[in-house]
Structure 1
Amino acid sequence: MKKLNRGLRAVLAAAAFAISLPASAHITFENKEVEAGRLVKFVLRIPHGCAGSATTAIRIAIPDALSGVTPEAKPGWTLSAATADATPVHVAAASNGTGGLQAKEIGWTGGRLENSHHDEFIFSATVSARAGTIYVPVVQECEKGVERWIEIPSNGGSSEDLKHPAPSVRVQP
């Protein structure tokens, strides 16, 4: 009987500890690896809001390793894009066969993604011809608060050590 009670107590203690841990779901890309020099569809996964609050905007900083960006429209959300000097870019131009936008930032605003729900935001871009890892900073704006998924590991570091890591993909030759 003592063994059973001791074992039960250990299980209950472990369960209580697991429940007390904070959620560590980060914003990630569906694709973990992409091919260098290719047009790639990037699916950004948003797993939750900000500290219990609904997401109302997603902004993505486009790194130099991506070009010809074409964001996908999302019902209920307004698309926007801007160049490096913050000049707004007309997003509809991306569908006219010009090869996408030369935007440095794209975003979706005006929608509402409840904290308890998840969703995906999609864009396509051509990946640079160099192998390595591409980090794509994302700002998640919510009704109450902002989450800045912008941390990039220092040389030799790991994203696992960061509180708000930027989503990343590995570029394969």
Structure 2
Amino acid sequence: MLKRTLTAIAVLALGTSTAFAHVSLQLKEAPVGGSYRAILQVPHGCEGKATNVLRVQVPEGVIAVKPQPKAGWTLEKIKGAYAKSYDYYGTPTSEGVKEIVWSGGSLGDDEYDEFVLRVYLTKDLKAGETLYFPVVQECADGLAERWIEIPAAGQSVDDLELPAPGVKLLEAAGGH
């Protein structure tokens, strides 16, 4: 009986660690119409191989993107036009960073790190919805993990194998 209980606990522990072993955002909620510090948590590599590239797609409605440089990594900001012009504190903004790429580093499969960007969540985004930042994690030997799945209407993120990191949007904060 004890052996069966210990086996059940071990299986539950394995299942739990696997369920949380994906790239995620540390701060799970943020108000629209303000700045947000997106902290992407990378808990492992790909099939035992080190991560050496992290690509983050910036969703529409997210502007004024400023990624934090990382020692030992090269930072690339890929810019382009937005689908529309957004108001950024009274300034019309129609283009900016659409993708961020950190490359050239080496984050071992048995290591953890965070990749940070500061963004502005426009008032055009809808409070109550979840905004997703698709991430592609490239590893040694051509391996990759594509954290790009976004749930369809009525679908839970828990049903996805490789969910994109998401932040729940809240009503705009009062004041400024």
TM bucket (normalised to shorter chain) is: 0.7 to 0.9
Paired letter, 2:145: E
Q: Which residue of 2 aligns with 1:137?
A: 134
Alpha-carbon distance in structure 1 between the residues aligned to 2:11 and 2:39: 33
Q: Give the match for residue 18 of structure 2.
A: 23
With normalisation by structure 1, the TM-score equals 0.82
- For 1:138, give the aligned amino acid: V
Percentage identity across paired residues of the two chains: 39
Please state whether the residue corresponding to 2:72 is helix, strand or coil: coil
Over the residues paired in the alignment, what is the CA RMSD in angstroms? Answer: 1.9
Structure 1 counterpart of 2:160, from 150, 159, 162? 162
| TM-score calculated relative to the size of structure 2 | 0.81
**1:65 aligns to what?**
61
Moved more, 161-170 or 128-137: 128-137
- Structure 2 CA distance, aligned partners of 1:16 and 1:47? 20
1:123 maps to 117
Contact 1:65–1:134 at 8 Å: present in 2 too? no
Partner SS, residue 53 of structure 1 = coil
| Structure 2 stretches lacking a partner, 5+ long | 82-92, 172-176
Q: Tell me, what secondary structure is at the counterpart of 2:97?
A: coil
**Hey, what's the Cα distance between the residues in 1 that align with 2:102 and 2:25?**
16
CA contact (8 A) 1:80 1:107 kept: yes
Deviation at 1:16, TM superposition (A): 4.9
The CA distance in 2 between the partners of 1:41 and 1:17, in whole Å, is: 35
Partner AA of 1:142 in structure 2: C
Structure 1 segments (4+ residues) deviating >2 Å: 15-24
Instruction: Name 2:46's counterpart in structure 1.
Output: 50
1: CA distance between counterparts of 2:113 and 2:58?
Answer: 20
Q: Deviations over 1:122-163 (max 9, x none)?
A: 000100213121011000000030000000000111111000
Superposed counterparts of 1:54-93, under 5 Å: 54-84=50-80
* Kept in 2: contact 1:82–1:104 (CA 8 A): yes
- Cα distance, 1:82 vs. partner? 1.0
Change (3 A) 1:156 1:11: same
**Equivalent of 2:144, from 135, 143, 146?**
146
Structure with a larger share of its residues in strand: 2
Alpha-carbon distance between aligned partners in 2 of 1:70 and 1:14, rounded to the nearest angstrom: 46
